[in-house]
């Protein structure tokens, strides 16, 4: 199988929508895995978006309070008490070996992502996003992948919804793709720090959404209690009247979140649950390695 080269930084992001198609069967060995990823281009560039604050106009929630922690563009920074630490980031300042490992992992994802399209997955962009609050209570939901490149994997949301609030408190997330129609079943697990996308990137994506979705983003108070559907319908009508005859701008507290991969695992299903697992992970110094795991 030919692995497509990685897109160039910034300009080469994969912009996505759900698609359908048809695929093949996995025969995975260490040698074959190396062969499958051998053509991936190793050039990964640093692409921090700079240290600007989380949301362009204020960082208060629906209730007017400020979050205890802040998520910054380009860097995830925890601020709690006297402790402050940057989240580990594997993009930028990496050794050649590290960039090669990252490129190989992203190339493998690209190949499997294409296979998911060919295999007829109902929506290959669907992924579980798991977060956790500071009390350790986890939560998970399914969202859609909207873009990905060597900087990470992007989804969009209200920043004051539950996942937005949890990612302000604890800016790390885990993603899970499950493509049961690919080969004998494939899962891709991705873990890492979360950063906000640039305003320009968020604006461009928001402008591409159907107008109804844009109106809904203004009308929804995501994750808050809703008295009735009629109340929501009235809010939709109010927002529609407000923007009648003009473009709908992006709400200031609606944006994209990019998960930067510190760990990427490829899980290939096999008979008798003798699965094959490959893990790419990076330590706090940014050194990455590839290893095989027991099923």
At 216, which helix (H) or strand (E)?
helix 211-219
Q: Rounded to an integer, what is the distance from CA 55 to the centroid of its chain?
A: 18
Residues 144, 151: Cα–Cα separation, whole Å: 17
Per-residue exposure over 163-190, b if at least 16 CB sit within 10 Å of its own CB, e if not: bbbbbbbbbbbbbbbbbebbbbebbbbb
Q: What is the DSSP string of 177-189?
A: EEETTSTT-EEEE
Do you know the residue count of the chain? 295
Topology adopted by domain 14-43+67-195+257-293: Pnp Oxidase; Chain A (2.30.110)
* Domain parsing of the chain, residue ranges: 14-43+67-195+257-293
**So which residues are the catalytic ones?**
273
Beta strand ranges found along the chain (DSSP E): 14-15, 70-72, 75-80, 83-86, 126-132, 138-144, 147-149, 152-158, 172-179, 186-196, 254-259, 263-268, 276-282, 288-293
Please list the pLDDT of the chain residue by residue as tens digits (295 residues): 333 333 333 334 676 643 333 332 222 333 333 433 333 332 222 233 333 222 333 333 444 443 333 443 443 433 222 222 333 333 333 455 567 888 899 999 999 999 999 999 999 999 999 999 999 999 999 999 999 999 999 999 999 999 999 998 999 999 999 999 999 999 999 999 999 999 999 999 999 999 999 999 999 998 888 999 999 999 999 999 999 999 999 999 999 999 999 999 999 999 999 999 999 998 777 788 999 999 9
Q: Could you give the C-alpha distances from 123 to 21, 144, 180, in angstroms and in order?
A: 10, 9, 11
């Amino acid at each position: 199988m030919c692995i497509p080269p990685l897109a160039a930084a910034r300009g080469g992001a994969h912009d996505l929508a759900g698609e359908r198609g048809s695929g093949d069967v996995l025969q995975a060995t260490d040698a074959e895995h190396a062969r499958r990823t051998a053509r991936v281009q190793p050039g990964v560039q640093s692409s921090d978006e700079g240290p600007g604050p989380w949301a362009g106009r204020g960082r208060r929630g629906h209730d007017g309070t400020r979050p205890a922690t802040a998520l910054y563009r380009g860097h995830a920074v925890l601020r709690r008490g006297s402790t402050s630490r940057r989240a580990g980031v594997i993009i930028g300042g990496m050794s050649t070996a590290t960039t090669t490992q990252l490129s190989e992992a992203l190339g493998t994802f690209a190949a499997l992502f294409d296979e998911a399209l060919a295999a007829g997955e109902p929506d290959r962009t669907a992924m579980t996003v798991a977060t956790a609050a500071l009390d350790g209570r986890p939560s998970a939901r399914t969202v859609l992948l909207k873009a990905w490149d060597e900087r990470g994997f992007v989804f969009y949301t209200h920043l004051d919804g539950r996942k937005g609030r949890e990612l302000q408190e604890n800016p790390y997330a885990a993603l899970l793709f499950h493509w049961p129609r690919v080969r004998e079943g494939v899962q891709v697990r991705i873990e890492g720090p979360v950063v906000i996308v640039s305003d320009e990137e968020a604006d461009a994506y928001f402008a591409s959404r159907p107008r109804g979705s844009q109106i809904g983003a203004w009308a929804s108070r995501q994750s808050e209690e809703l008295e009735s559907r009629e109340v929501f319908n009235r809010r939709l009508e109010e927002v529609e009247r407000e923007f009648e005859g003009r473009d709908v701008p992006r709400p200031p507290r609606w944006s994209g979140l990019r998960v930067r991969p510190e760990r990427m695992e490829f899980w290939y299903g096999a008979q008798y649950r003798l699965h094959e697992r490959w893990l790419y992970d990076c330590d706090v110094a940014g050194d990455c390695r590839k290893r095989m795991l027991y099923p």
